[in-house]
Amino acid sequence: MTSLTGRATPGTPAGVRPPVDGVVAVPGVGGPARQARAAAYEAFLEPLLPHRDGVALLAVGGLGRRQCAPYGDLDLVLLHAGVPGIDELAAAIWYPVWDAGLRLDHSVRTGAEALSVAQDDVKVALGLLDARLVAGDPALADALIRTAADHWRRTAVRQVPHLREITAARWAAHGELAFLLEGDLKEAAGGLRDVGILRAIASAGVTDALRPAVRAAHLRLLDVRDALHQQVGRRVDRLLAQERDGVAELLGLEDSDAVLRRVAGDARTVSHALDDAFRAAERLRGGRSRLGAGPPVRRPVARDVVEHDGELVLARTAIGARPDPSLSLRVAAAAATTGLPIARATCEWLAAYCPPLPAPWPAEARAALITLLGAGPGLVPAWETCDRYGLVDGWLPEWTRMRSLPQHNPVHRFTLDRHLVQTAFEASRHTRDVERPDLLLLGALLHDVGKGLPGGVDVPAGRHVPGAGSADHSTVGAPIAEAVASRIGLPAAEVALIGRLVRLHLLLPDVATRRDLTDPVTISGVADAVGDPATLDLLHALVRADAAATGPAAWSDWKGRLVAELVARVRTALDTGALPAPPAPDPALLAEPLPVVQLSSDRVAVAAADRRGLLATVAGCLALHRLEVISADASAVDGRALVECRVQPRYGLAPDPIALSADLRRALAGDVSVNQRLRGRALAARGAGAAPRVVWHREAATDAALLELRAADAAGLLYRVACALDEADAEVRAARISTLGGDVVDAFYLVGGWPDDATRARLEAAVLAVV
């Protein structure tokens, strides 16, 4: 055996290498490697406790189960029967473990103390279920292990409610492993910690919690964690994006997406099993409380659906007759609206005997789907339960392709399938804002159906904007959504509207953040694309639902204001046929003595003597004070140059307004020291990134040419680009800054037509040279 100190001892098992940084390292992934690591740890620990009566060294956790990860912790309990000198004995064990470079979780207890703590702390009670003797008195260890297991079997049903509470708190902190791009394999819902809870519930005889599918999922999750440890070279449980390719190679999988899909499927299996186990424990607890009060009452909740003992089951009449194809949807809708789970046996029966839906669907099935999508908080658990048993594939054959599909986009927190269902849930909050709530819900479910197909990319920046001519998953998904809507049974006009919602669901945020909302061409372009106020309202609601389902980085107050401003202007154009007049400048900017500086929490406005380069000067000052520019407008009125910027703190902390105002005034007055600071900070901020790109958009503005820069984000970028444009004699009328993840799309409205190819090429080169 190889000890943790690097000295070889007789009987070294095959595959055990000398320790790396004091840690046993067994190559390979899988059960045999985990067993070999456990054997190596035991061989190191056993000599540390000379055999004596009344003392035993127990392993819990991974070593107790003989499922040791490559860089896992050691969880040890030194059990004693009140023998003298126990503290010195404990030190003689713990210090060599620490000296070997191992992470150690340890305790020293008598049997009575261990049982007392387990009675008060359910986590300790669960840990003792994995306890196993490593060295010392076997009788002492066996007595505690048997007593702890017996105590758990007698009290498990009473302890499950508290266990469920602390589990829910952990889920809230770590999210759902099945739907996360970088989930925690241990702590997230559906992870390894939940398997431990299932094992405890199963050991209490409450239910068959560890069915074969769960055991297989558990072993695969352990394999992924082993591969992750080996890939990183240390203990880590979060499956980060940069490690997935290496993990895939170690597991023999095709690519990183295959890793995510496998983890998602296994996490779902564990999550569903734990939900079933918790419900079984609750039913058992409720049954005991009803002793002598008769069987649970069956209560009808919908046609062919009744509540029985806290779960939804089929009415006897539904089972006896040939079911209609809409039955599974009606059961799902009842579960979502009541918040009650569907019994496992009912799901299995529906999966086996419910006939497929015809095309087009009957009206009852279509109504049940809309009820399901609009049910609010009950939608997600009901949908997940139906998806677990394959019912969703019967409703939407396209779902198979989208299930557990990763979204490689920094703003997305969920896999594609969960994102679509979450968007429908968020859309249910806006159903009273639109004329056709049913079409809003269906559009929300289908809005990203084109992702994962050839051409159906999800680009963080540079999406389709009227006049840009780009194609993405919105364009690819529109005909698929129309086909689904037609199969569901919507009339032709509504099918076309669903296709339009999917095709245009990115229109409002893209235009609001990347175009000049005071330009008539912008407003008329959106109005022509939308067509009518009812569709505009549907798109506005869909945008908000999509952003809420995507993640906190997808939305902000300023983005919401910009989208609302765009919607208001487009509605005016659709209602009256007249384009709204651009807002007039603040009178104070035109009347007060120069220079004028106005500051608020999200706005900076200045006025100076009419001169070139004012936008660059203002942008540089804002960058010096760590303010990001969201939008900028430049104009000249009555011999004054005006610049108004919407801003937000780059790192969340607002700058000192007195210092910012002083720097702006000095810069506007041509102070050389300020300009030197600006250029020095700008040069220091340059960094490597993806190759930048310049795109010209023709006929996208009334009186200007639109230059769009797509590049990696960096502090002071707007200042550098504005300086380059000024030095190339390009006058900027307005700028829109769109940042998503690590990329930006900066749109600059340049006064004049810029029709000459050579002139545009020189300007492009000047801009790219400073990025």
**For 423-435, how does the pLDDT look when each residue is reduced to its tens digit (9 = 90+)?**
999 999 999 999 9
* Length of the chain (residues): 771
pLDDT at 44: 92
pLDDT at 10 over 80: no
pLDDT at 2: 33
CA distances from 299 to 157, 306, 314, 315 (A): 25, 5, 11, 10
Q: Model pTM?
A: 0.82
pLDDT at 173 over 80: yes
Output the CA angle 546-548-554, nearest 5 degrees.
85
pLDDT at 612 over 80: no
Integer Cα distance of 333 and 367 in angstroms = 9
Integer Cα distance of 733 and 23 in angstroms = 63
| CA torsion, ordered 178, 182, 183, 186, to nearest 10 deg | 130
| CA torsion, ordered 21, 22, 25, 31, to nearest 10 deg | -140
Better-predicted residue by pLDDT, 508 or 739: 508
- Among 124-138, 453-467, 629-643, 731-745, the minimum mean pLDDT is found in 453-467
- Among 234-248, 453-467, 603-617, the minimum mean pLDDT is found in 453-467
Give the residue among 630, 481, 609, 618 at the shortest CA–CA distance from 565.
630
> To which H or E segment does residue 74 belong?
strand 74-80
Give the residue among 351, 706, 379 at the shortest CA–CA distance from 549.
379
User: Concatenated DSSP letters for 657-705?
Assistant: HHHHHHHHHHHHTT-HHHHHHHHHHHHHT----SPPEEEEETTSSSSEE
Mean pLDDT (the chain) is 87
Cis omega (within 30 of 0) for bond into 360: yes
pLDDT band at 293 (very low <50, low <70, confident <90, very high): low
DSSP assignment letter at 469: -
- Among 130-134, 528-532, 669-673, 750-754, the minimum mean pLDDT is found in 669-673
CA distances from 536 to 500, 543, 564 (A): 11, 11, 11
Give the residue among 493, 487, 505 at the shortest CA–CA distance from 369.
487
pLDDT at 11 over 50: no
Percent of the chain with pLDDT over 70: 90
Query: Token digits for 185?
Result: 């394999």
The distance of Cα 356 from the centroid of its chain, to the nearest Å, equals: 33
pLDDT at 27 over 90: no
Within 10 Å of residue 159's Cβ, how many Cβ atoms? 18
Integer Cα distance of 196 and 212 in angstroms = 15
Give the residue among 580, 567, 440, 574 at the shortest CA–CA distance from 512.
567
Contact 171, 188 (CB under 8 A): yes
pLDDT band at 465 (very low <50, low <70, confident <90, very high): very low
DSSP assignment letter at 168: H
pLDDT at 25: 53
pLDDT at 628: 85
User: Which one of 123-132, 275-284, 362-371, 593-602 scores highest in mean pLDDT?
Assistant: 362-371
- Among 21-30, 397-406, 554-563, the minimum mean pLDDT is found in 21-30
